[in-house]
Amino acid sequence: MPVITINKNDELMMSLAHYFITKKNYVPINVQGARDEIWLENIEGPYRVIRINAKNIYNDEQYDMDIFKIRFILKQIKRKTLSFKVPTLNICLNLNNKVNLNNRFNINTIKVESYEEIKENNYLVNAFPDIKDNILESNNNLDLIINVTNDISKKTEKSNKFFEKVFSPKKIIVTKLIILINIIVFLLMYLLGNGSTDTQTLLLFGANYGPLVKSGEVYRLITCAFLHIGIIHLLVNMYSLSIIGSQIESYLGKLKFIVIYLVSALSGSLFSLIAGNSISAGASGAIFGLLGSLLYFGYHYRLYLNSVLKSQIIPIIVLNLVISFLVPGIDALAHIGGLIGGYLVTMALGIEQRSQKKDQINGFIVLILYLAFLTFMVFFY
C-alpha cells in the first residue's frame, strides 16, 4: 500500500475544518479563487466567519494585502446575509514571527503552528472551550484523511436531510381550513344577516369595535379576523393567505402556524383600537403577522434564502405597508400590529436548529410586554 503523506499545515487545516464543521455547525463558503485556505460560516457562532489560511505570509505588506482580501470577501458576505458586522477569526498556519499582528476591521488574526498552540490559544479556547478535547489528532495521515472525510460527509448528509425536511413540500391543511371558515362565515352573513357590508351584521358576527371590546366582548379581537367586508376584501385576503399561510405552515409546522396566526390577529386587533373606535374586520392583520413570521424565518435561513429575502419578502412587506397608508379605508394600524406580533411570536416559538434558547426567552418576554402594553393602551389608558 502506498504511503500517503501530508504536510503539517495541511494536517492542521484539515483538523480545524473537521472540528468547526462537525462540532460547531460551521458550513464551508465557496470563495472563488481561494487556494490553500478554507472559509467557514456560522450565523450563530461566536465568530460569524472563520478563515483558515495555510499560505506563507512573510512580511507586513503581505499581511496587509491579506487583510484587504478578507475585507473584500466579508463585504460580499455582509450584502448576502444583510449583516452590518461579521466578526471574523483569521487563523494563519504559516505566518512569519516578524509580522506585526494587529486586529482591525472586526478581524481577529491568530497564528497557530501545532496542536499544542491550538489548545493554548486564548482566542480559540475562550470562543470554543471544547476545542482542547475535540480537535482531531493523528500520527497516521491516511487515518486522518479517512476520519475527516467520513465525519464531514456524515455531517453534510445530516444537514441536507434537515434542509430537505424543512423545505420539502408538505400537505397543507390548517391554511385551507382557515380559508374555508372565512368563506363559510362570509356566506352566513348573507344567509343570516343583511350581508357583509351591513354594520349591524358585522357587529352581530363579531367585528372589532372599541366600545364593545372595552365593555367585555374581548372575543371580537379574534372573531373579527374571520370576517370580511365585501367580496373583493375576502378574495384578496384569502389569496394572500393561501400563498403566505402555506409557506409558514410548511416551514414551521401546523401547531406553530395556528399560534402565530391567532397571536398576530390579536396583536393587530389591539393595535387597531389604540387610535380609533371604528368598526374593523378582516384577516389582513393575521396575514401581516405571517409576513412578520416569514421575515424572521427568512433571516435565519438567509444563507439559503438570500435572494428571496431581499427580492420578495422584504419588498412585499414594504409595498403592502405603503398601500395600507395610501389607500383609504384600510386599517394600517392592524397591519403594523399584526406584523410586529407575528415576528415576536415566531421569535418566542423558535425555529428548529436555528434559534437559541436565550433568543426564544427574549422573544417570549418582549411578546408579553408588547401585548401587555397594547392591552393597557386599549383598556386602561
| pLDDT (tens digit per residue) in 235-294 | 999 999 999 999 999 999 999 999 999 999 999 999 999 987 789 999 999 999 999 999
Out of 143, 167, 191, a domain closes at 167
HSE (CB half, 13 Å, CA atoms) of 175? 23
C-beta separation of 83 from 306 below 8 A: no
The 107-111 sheet, strands edge to edge:
27-28, 37-41, 49-53, 88-92, 107-111
Is 284 noted as a catalytic residue in this protein? yes
pLDDT at 168 over 90: no
Whichever domain contains 211, its CATH number is 1.20.1540.10
Going by pLDDT thresholds of 50, 70 and 90, the confidence category of residue 356 is: confident
Encoded amino acid at 89, one letter: L
Whether residue 159 is found in the same domain as residue 183: no
Residue 291 and residue 363 share a domain: yes
Residues 102, 249, single domain; the answer is no
* Claim to verify: residue 194 and residue 62 sit in the same structural domain: no
Buried b (16+ CB within 10 A) or exposed e, 253-267: bbebbebbbbbbbbb
Over residues 329-339, mean pLDDT:
90
Q: What is the C-alpha separation between 132 and 237, in angstroms, rounded? A: 56
pLDDT higher than 60, residue 4: no
Cβ-based neighbour number of residue 229 at 10 Å: 21
Domain range for 121 is: 8-167
Q: Which of 272, 324, 335, 355 is catalytic?
A: 335
Q: Do 67 and 141 share a domain, yes or no?
A: yes
| Cell triple for 306 | 438570500
Do 93 and 9 touch, CB atoms closer than 8 A?
yes
Q: How confident is the model at residue 141 (pLDDT cuts 50, 70, 90)?
A: low
Q: Give me the chain's average pLDDT, please.
A: 88
Together in a domain, 21 and 70: yes
Answer yes or no: 269 catalytic. no
Q: Which candidate in 284, 293, 324, 355 is catalytic?
A: 284
Higher-scoring residue by pLDDT: 141, 235: 235
- 49: which strand partners? 41, 88
- Return the bridge partners of 89, or none: 50, 108
> Which among 133, 167, 201 is the end of a domain?
167
pLDDT at residue 1, rounded to an integer:
43
Reported as a pLDDT band with limits 50, 70 and 90, residue 6 is: low
Mean of pLDDT values over 51-74 = 91
Q: How far apart are CA 272 and CA 230, in angstroms?
A: 20
> Do 35 and 63 reside in the same domain of the chain?
yes
Same domain, 124 and 191: no
Q: Is residue 229 part of a domain?
A: yes
Q: Determine the pLDDT at residue 3.
A: 47
Whether 293 is in a domain gets the answer yes
Check whether residue 269 and residue 291 sit in a common domain.
Answer: yes
Q: What percent of the chain has pLDDT over 70?
A: 95
CA pair distance 23, 30, nearest whole angstrom: 20
pLDDT at 321: 81
Region label for 106, one of left (φ > 0), alpha (ψ between -120 and 50) or beta (otherwise): left
The total of structural domains in the chain comes to 2
Enter the pTM of the model. Answer: 0.78
Question: Of 167, 185, 218, which residue sits at a domain end?
Answer: 167
The CA distance from 26 to 112, in Å, is 20
d(CA 241, CA 312): 16
CB 24 within 8 A of CB 42: yes
Q: Looking at the domain assignment, is residue 274 inside a domain?
A: yes
2 belongs to a structural domain: no
**Does residue 1 lie in a domain region?**
no
Strands 27-28 and 37-41: antiparallel
C-alpha cell belonging to residue 57: 505570509
Q: pLDDT-derived band of residue 210, with 50, 70 and 90 as boundaries?
A: very high
Mean pLDDT value across residues 176-195: 96
210-219 contact pairs (CB < 8 A, 24+): 210/273, 210/276, 210/277, 210/278, 210/378, 211/277, 213/273, 213/378, 214/378, 214/379
Across 201-221, average pLDDT: 96
Do residues 192 and 156 both lie within one domain?
no
**Average confidence (pLDDT) over 176-200:** 96
> Domain check: are 331 and 277 in the same one?
yes
Strongest mean pLDDT among 47-61, 73-87, 312-326: 47-61
Q: How far apart are CA 280 and CA 103, in angstroms?
A: 57
Let me know if residue 182 belongs to a domain.
yes
pLDDT at 111 over 50: yes
Task: Please report the pLDDT score of residue 342 as a whole number.
Answer: 97
Residue 333 lies in a domain: yes
Dihedral (Cα; 98, 104, 110, 111), 10-degree rounding:
-20
Residue scoring higher pLDDT (7 or 322): 322
For residues 39-49, average pLDDT: 89
User: How large a percentage of the chain has pLDDT more than 90?
Assistant: 57
Do residues 121 and 200 share a domain?
no
> Could you tell me if residue 244 is inside a domain?
yes
Specify burial of residue 23 (Cβ count, 10 A radius: 0-12, 13-18, 19+): middle
